[in-house]
Amino acid sequence: MIIDVHGHAGPWFFSTDVGSVELNLALMDRYGIDRQIVSASEAVTYDVVSGNRWLAEVLDAHPRLLGYVVVNPNDLGGAARELEKYRPAGRFVGVKVHTTYPDRPLLSAEVRDALGLAAEAGLPALVHTWDDAGLSTRGPVLDGDPALFRTLIDLNVNALTELTTLLMPAMVARGHGAVVNIASTGGYIPAPYLAVYAATKAYVVSLTQALWAETRGTGVRVVAVSPGPTKTPMNPRGTRSAEAVAATVARALSGNGPAVIDGKANALTAFLFGRLLPTRFTLAVARRVMARSGD
């Protein structure tokens, strides 16, 4: 079964010619998608109560669709009421929190408390960020912007740690769940000219492996997945596709090890340069490669 876990229903204010439920279903048929978990566009952008109410009616009429209860982190009382209203029916299977429209950063107390409500309800949470999107820094550390480094560390270290430790206890209490933390091959190999980014990913690998050991036997799957250079808008020179990385994540979930590296070539590189070869040689090669890739 193929499930699309991030869909929307209803028109967006910036593109009113898309968003009908009929279009969702037609696209699902075209691409072989069995189920789709959606949030109401109105609930995300404008009115949580009205949007969730409209989506409840849609879900009753279309069994292939499941829903996210959208909650506003600025109104935790209202969020609790929405969860109490829609969770029992079983058609809403998760909670969605958007950081941009409520103007609350990912690390804010409001977002943390909203995720706490999701954890108490026993529902998975989808956190949709725009301003906190993928971030990297390239160049010598001494030429870098300390404020940008701080933002990178907040995103890759602090936010990941807070979200993981906030949501995992409820998974352990239930006896099932999964945590996939996205690291990088840079977490295994020091990366001159990308030093802070690689250091944050080394933290992700180390933390996730330790959590894997701490939660053995609880029924919760914990794994770090480390892509190499992946072709994305932020990195058009990437050598692996996003689809290949997604397939690796899916396989990692069905495995039992603490860490997986995407792609045989990436895994071999990480082994050679991260474990086998002398550190001084590894750094000299990495310095040349990273300097050349920045041209």
- Catalytic residue set: 197
Pairwise CA distance, residues 182 & 86, whole Å? 31
Pairwise CA distance, residues 234 & 176, whole Å? 34
Pairwise CA distance, residues 109 & 102, whole Å? 13
Longest dimension (CA), the chain: 63
Helix 109-121 / helix 160-174 crossing angle, nearest 10 deg: 10
Three-class HEC string of the chain = CCEEEEEEECCECCECCCCCHHHHHHHHHHHCCCEEEEEEHHHHHCCHHHHHHHHHHHHHHCCCEEEEEECCCCCHHHHHHHHHHHCCCCCEEEEEEECCCCCCCCCCHHHHHHHHHHHHHCCCEEEECCCCCCCCCCCCHHHCCHHHHHHHHHHHHHHHHHHHHHHHHHHHHHCCEEEEEECCHHHCCCCCCCHHHHHHHHHHHHHHHHHHHHCCCCCEEEEEEECCCECECCECCCCECHHHHHHHHHHHHHCCCCEEECCHHHHHHHHHHHHHCCHHHHHHHHHHHHHHHCC
Residue positions counted in the chain: 295
